[in-house]
Structure formats: structure tokens, C-alpha cells
Amino acid sequence: MEESINKQINEEFYSAYLYLAMSGYFESVDLPGFAHWMHAQYLEEMEHGMKFWHHLVDRGGTVKLYAIQEPQREWDSPLAAFQAALEHERHITGRIHALVDLAEEVKDRAAYNLLQWYVDEQVEEEASVEAIIARLEMVGGSGNGMLMVDRELGQRQTG
Ligand code: OFO
């Protein structure tokens, strides 16, 4: 269980890296609202990683911080970036579910309880990215539509 959580810490920090890369990409194409949204997402992923980190530390486990993979830097369009984010979140959901199965198998109730938070969080994460993809498909890249979505995403609260 400890080793699998260590691997998940790495997955969460990679998620943070990926969204920070997407935030930089959105800055480079002059979409500050999209960049702000992705920066907020980056901060959330850091929290996801730290929640597992605290869990291991609190239980006297050994934290292993593996090297974080370099994320992609550019995407073909804002829609392509969000589609990549959705694909990534689905991958993370799969990892979390596998951790739940493992916690059940080894009867690690503390890990099982902690993981329930992540199960719910993944439902939210996928839903919010799917909603943005739907909106982007609706506006179809039109200038006015993109400005509207950018304004909306810029209003995301952080913390
Ligand atoms: Fe995006 O939920 Fe963590 O990785």
C-alpha cells in the first residue's frame, strides 16, 4: 500500500506539472482566464499530492519522491488541451480506483477512508473538465465565444 501511495504522490505532482504547463500554454496564446483556471488546477493537484504525503507521514511510512516526468508544452488548440486534461483525469480515476481495490484487499481501512475523498474528487474533476469541453465545442473557436469562455474561466475561485 505504501509503495502504491508513493507512486500516486508522483502521479498527483505530475498532474500539477501538466496543468502548470497548460497554464503557461494559455498565457502564450493570450487567454488569461484559461491560464488562471489551469493555475488553480495546478494548486489543487499540489494539494492532492500533499494529502497523500501527510497520510504516509502521519502513519510512520516512508515518503519516496520519484522524479516527475516532463509534461507536454504545447497543444493544437484550447479544446485539444482540455481533451488531454480529460484523458489524464480518466487515467487518474483509474489509478485511484485501483488503490481503493488494493486498500480493500489488504484491509487498510485508513487508506480506504482517505481514498473515498479522492473517489468523489475525481467525479468532480472529470465533470468540470467535461463541462468546459462542451462549451468549447459549442463556441467552435469563434473569437467572441472564446472571449466569453475566457472571462468565465477567469472567475474560478482559488483555495
Ligand atoms: Fe486531477 O485529480 Fe489529482 O491528479
Does 48 contact ligand 1 (Cβ within 6 A)?
yes
Distance 144 CA to ligand 1 centre (A): 31
What is the domain extent for residue 94? 2-153
Tell me the CA–centroid distance for residue 45 and ligand 1, in Å.
Answer: 5
Distance 122 CA to ligand 1 centre (A): 7
CATH of the domain at 61: 1.20.1260.10
Distance 124 CA to ligand 1 centre (A): 10
What value, to the nearest 5°, has the Cα angle with vertex 116 and ends 153 and 128? Answer: 15
Q: What is the rounded average pLDDT for all residues in the chain?
A: 97
Number of structural domains found in the chain: 1
Mean pLDDT of 30-45: 98
- In angstroms, rounded to a whole number, what is the distance separating the alpha carbons of residues 36 and 24? 10
The pLDDT of residue 159: 63
The Cα–Cα gap between 118 and 153 comes to 23
**For residues 21 and 158, which has the higher predicted lDDT (pLDDT)?**
21
For residue 151, give the C-alpha cell.
Answer: 472571462
Task: Write the pLDDT tens digit of every residue in 66-112.
Answer: 999 999 999 999 999 999 999 999 999 999 999 999 999 999 999 99
The model carries a pTM of 0.95
9 touches 49 (CB < 8 A): yes
Does 158 map to a domain?
Answer: no
Residue-level pLDDT at 125: 97
Q: What is the pLDDT of residue 133?
A: 98
- The preferred substitution site among 39, 46, 89 for testing ligand 1, maximizing ligand atoms within 8 Å of CB, is 89
Is 41 within a domain? yes
Atom of ligand 1 nearest to the CA of 45: 3
